[in-house]
Amino acid sequence: MQRTNLTPLWLILLLYAGLGSLFAVYTPDWQAPDEPAHYNYVRQLANGRLPVMAPGDYDQDYIVEVVFESGFDPRYAIEPLSYEDWQPPLYYLLLTPVFWLTGGSLLALRLASLLLGAGVVALAYGAARQLAPGRDWLAGGTAVFVALLPQHLSILAAVNNDALAELLIAAMLVLLLGIDGWRTARDHRRALLLGVLLGLGFLTKATVYPMAGVIGVALLLRYRRDWRDLLRVALWVSVPALLLGALWWGRNAAVYGGLDVLGKAAHDAVVVGQPRTAALVAEVGAAEAARQFAQTTFRSFWGQFGWMTVPMLNPGWLYPLLGLFTAVALLGLPLAWRQRLAAAGRGQTAVLLALVVFVAGVHLFYNLTYVQHQGRYLFPALVPIGLGVAAGLGGWVWVVGGKRPWLLALLPLGLALALAALDLWALFRLLVPTLT
């Protein structure tokens, strides 16, 4: 059996670790979205208390004063910022020993999150290898995009439960992309692992929930000709997932009462004053609200740092250039498809598209109620997005470059150099000077 050359992956991980560590070290304290609230969750666990969402956890006026007016002046306490107390506990439990060992060091917690993000990068590489074995340029390009996208790198280098949620999603995606190779004698083990990962996702963050739908799509396509196998495998997946999820859902039902198994009703009752979409539409109209949603989502997908207060507006051509890059990647996908550069099977394509559609749908649905135009809410689907970017660019390189394989091999290097330069510029010429 031919051994897989993992040298490119190790180089990508080394670059990710270096740049991510710079973000973790130089990003001013608390200047990442919701970081104080995530930190306070870990602090409460370290003090022996599982947080409960309660009145007083969210104070819009205090947030405006501390975050946007004072820029986290040390005179203000961050302890009142505890509006993430409704979140599932797994990420915070993993970070609690780090909190104990380091005396609550913010940098140590950031680096622990960065380590979880390294797993996301490695699994992105593995997903591309699963999709197109032997196409190292596709695996490398996908991993580079996931690792070095500026906004994503800044989030992974902060205290935020997105890192663990994305890690579990990526692990499930790798399993699902290989589902066509499952065989009756062994598929129950993979199905059981899939169920455990999904259950751990239920204990991590609600952004993992769309994977339940993606798994359903994958199982239906794989076992559509044998309903008994479908039922059997579905049970192997669903039983461990539901048992693990029930630990959290049962606790929430006991604490918050009724059917509030996610704690969402308790959360919504507390976050009074959070900007609402209905108020925005009443103020500027539906068309302008939709334009703001699309524009801010796009900008903050690439990079809008701090608490969405530091967009990359200077130079003014940067976002249009990134828009052109996005369009080129999208238009290159048909070229890659026709040239069979990333020849995904029908089931694999369905899995990737389902994840993108479900995640985008959740982002849109949430913004029907709250003004949360943050592109990072698309990051649960970043692996298929990265695959699309790498494949689309590869389509153009293959056609325009005269079908020279060595040019494809250079694609990850070129993408890495461009994104690394953008990361360093964003950190040291934009984020640090603006927020310090």
Are the C-beta atoms of 421 and 144 separated by less than 8 Å? no
Please tell me the distance from the alpha carbon of residue 199 to that of residue 245, in angstroms, as a whole number.
Answer: 5
Buried b (16+ CB within 10 A) or exposed e, 16-44: bbebbebbbeebeebbbbbbbbbbbbbbb
Report the pLDDT value the prediction gives residue 3, as an integer from 0 to 100: 63
Which residues are paired to 208 by β-bridges? none
Q: How many domains does the chain have?
A: 1
pLDDT at 401: 81
Q: Is residue 126, in this structure, part of any structural domain at all?
A: yes
Distances (CA, A) of 94 to 33, 97, 211, 266, 427: 20, 7, 22, 25, 28
Token pair 């790798």 is found at 174
How far, in Å, CA of 339 to CA of 195, rounded?
A: 36
* Contact (CB, 8 A) for 170 and 120: yes
Residues 6+ apart with CB under 8 A from 415: 141, 144, 145, 148, 390, 393
Per-residue pLDDT of the chain in tens (436 residues, 90 and over written 9):
346 789 999 999 999 999 999 999 999 999 999 999 999 999 999 999 999 999 999 999 999 999 999 999 999 999 999 999 999 999 999 999 999 999 999 999 999 999 999 999 999 999 999 998 889 999 999 999 999 999 999 999 999 999 999 999 999 999 999 988 777 656 788 999 999 999 999 999 999 999 999 999 999 999 888 888 899 999 999 999 999 999 999 999 999 988 999 999 999 899 887 889 999 999 999 999 999 999 999 999 999 999 999 999 999 999 999 999 999 999 999 998 887 766 678 889 999 999 999 999 999 999 999 899 999 999 999 999 999 999 999 999 988 887 888 889 999 999 999 999 999 999 999 999 999 8
- 153 CB-near residues (< 8 Å, 6+ apart): 16, 19, 20, 23, 147, 423
CA angle centred on 124, ends 159 and 367, rounded to 5°: 55
| Angle at which helices 106-131 and 382-400 cross, to 10° | 50
Question: Is residue 178 included in any domain, yes or no?
Answer: yes
Beta bridge partners of 370: 276
Please, how many CA atoms are within 13 Å of residue 256, restricted to the half-sphere of its CB?
25
Segment holding 216, helix H or strand E: helix 210-222
Q: Is residue 215 part of a domain?
A: yes
177 in Cβ contact with 130 (< 8 Å)? yes
Cβ–Cβ under 8 Å, residues 46 and 100: yes
Q: Exposed e or buried b for every residue in 219-258, given b needs 16+ CB within 10 A?
A: bebbbeeeeebeeebbebbbebbeebbeebbebbbeebee
Q: What pLDDT does residue 25 have?
A: 98
**Contact at 8 Å (CB) between 171 and 120?**
no
Has residue 35 been placed in a domain?
yes
* Confidence (pLDDT) at 1: 36
Rounded to the nearest angstrom, the gap between the alpha carbon of residue 343 and the centroid of all alpha carbons in its chain is 25
Give the Cα separation of 198 and 193 in Å (integer).
9
Q: What is the residue range of 141's domain?
A: 7-435
Rounded to whole angstroms, the Cα distance separating 416 from 145 reads 8
Beta bridge partners of 310: 305
Reference 149, options 341, 382, 339, 433; nearest CA is 382
In the prediction, which pLDDT does 38 show? 98
DSSP-derived secondary structure letter, 282: H
Residue type, 221: L
Q: Is residue 123 part of a domain?
A: yes
DSSP string, 237-254: HHHHHHHHHHHHHHHHHH
Question: Is the residue at 65 inside a domain?
Answer: yes
Angle (deg, nearest 10), helices 346-367 and 210-222: 160
Q: Cβ–Cβ contacts within 10 Å for residue 390, how many?
A: 32
| Domain assignment present for 2 | no
**Predicted TM-score of the model (pTM):** 0.95
SS3 label, residue 126 = helix
Answer whether residue 133 is part of any domain. yes
How far is 327 from 280, CA to CA, in rounded Å? Answer: 29
